[in-house]
Amino acid sequence: MELFMADKHTPEQRRFNMQQIKSKNTKPEVLLRKILFSKGYRYRINSKNLPGKPDIVLKKYNTIIFVNGCFWHGHKNCTYFVIPKTNTDFWINKINANKNRDQNNFKSLLKLGWNIITIWECELKKDNIEKTVNKLIEELQNNIEK
């Protein structure tokens, strides 16, 4: 598996591309929210009063869902997680800091009594989405029965 890739863009193009990346309301988040809503689930988004501002909060199910980008959160053994060939130390540190922050937020949320589900960007691709949604709904139903 190739861990590094060459940058095909100029520094200016790369900077512009990186500035366009959103931290909330990403395509995978919006897709999952639409599916959940269509199946009758009601939720809050990006709740500021909870650690990590979770992407989806299902209070009725006492469950929080984080929709993580495979690159930004360092999804292990995923084809979408490739460390860039340029500025490698920066990216490794950045991704590790994201992972550490995620773990700290999870610990805080668990102490508050929340169930936490992480959905990865790759799990919402066409060939995986049905399986992912079915598994998620099953987990939500189990949480309400507790």
CA distance 106 to 110: 6
pLDDT in tens, 15-28: 665 555 655 678 88
Domain ranges in the chain are: 4-145
DSSP string of 24-68? SS-HHHHHHHHHHHHTT---EES-TTSTT--SEEEGGGTEEEEEE
pLDDT in tens, 8-56: 767 777 666 555 565 567 888 999 999 999 999 999 998 899 999 999 9
pLDDT in tens, 86-108: 888 988 999 999 999 999 999 99
Burial class (CB in 10 A: 0-12, 13-18, 19+), 145: exposed
Topology (CATH) of 4-145: Endonuclease; Chain A (3.40.960)
